[in-house]
Amino acid sequence: MTDCPTVDELLMAHAVGRLPEPLALVVGTHLALCPRARSRYSRFLALGGLLLERAEPAPLAADAFARLLERLDQEEQPAPACQRPVAWACAAPGLPRPLRDYLPGPLEAQRWRCYGSAAELELRLPTPGYRTTLVRVRAGRQVPRHTHEGHELTLVLAGGFSDKTGHYRRGDLAIADGTIDHRPTADADEDCLCLAVTDAPLRLTGMLGRLLNPFLRL
Ligand code: ZN
């Protein structure tokens, strides 16, 4: 397993178009929800544009940079993270793009897999090697304790959660790997909704988690 990337490293990779689609979806949605991330991303874009111009001073590179900056200025519509076309009439007004473009309709109308106090909805992205899900956890409840065989990116879309690494609210992006064994707990006052991407299975580390193995068999 490679080193766990930082949020800045993900932003830089996104700025130069190097992220696979599931990670681009997470980072693009993070940008839509987090003004601080947008500010840092704009700097990385500028740096990437300069590098592109040095390497290949073609009109296409300059035009692409200008278009990206223009999109950054639009609230809730950062740089285009998704290569997949919008296939459905969007009906999830509480969620920003690019995530909204991946949903077939209202969240409540989807076929969620329920596991006690948690539920998940898998988003079928074509990129092999990744699993992309929306995860809901009821207020004050926990997901099974686990660690990770690869990387886990968790973006809070509503509510919040806490684990040993901190407290995460709407727009925050948590990154975990095999060095982290945790049991995220949703905030007590609101159900937590997250977008999660993993590139390898989770590994359960608690007795309750083993009982709920199907929920975390990624
Ligand atoms: Zn985890």
CA 35 from centre of chain: 16
Q: Which long-range contacts (CB under 8 A, 24 or more apart) does 48-51 make?
A: 48/12, 48/15, 48/16, 51/16
Which of 150, 152, 154, 148 lies closest to 168 in space, CA to CA? 154
Instruction: Give the per-residue pLDDT at 211.
Output: 52
Global pTM reads 0.76
* Backbone torsions φ then ψ of 196, nearest 5 degrees: -125, 140
User: Distance, CA 154 to ligand 1 centroid (Å)?
Assistant: 8
Instruction: Give the per-residue pLDDT at 173.
Output: 97
CB 103 within 8 A of CB 124: no
Instruction: Give the per-residue pLDDT at 196.
Output: 96
Instruction: Give the per-residue pLDDT at 94.
Output: 77
User: Distance, CA 91 to ligand 1 centroid (Å)?
Assistant: 29
Q: What is the mean pLDDT of each run of 10 residues along the chain (218 residues)?
A: 78 90 96 94 80 55 49 42 34 76 85 88 93 94 91 95 96 94 94 94 67 47
Instruction: Give the per-residue pLDDT at 164.
Output: 93
Residue 153: Cβ within 10 Å count: 26
Tokens of 40: 């840092």
User: Distance, CA 146 to ligand 1 centroid (Å)?
Assistant: 6
Instruction: Give the per-residue pLDDT at 188.
Output: 95
User: Distance, CA 68 to ligand 1 centroid (Å)?
Assistant: 32
CA 186, CA 129: separation in Å to the nearest integer? 28
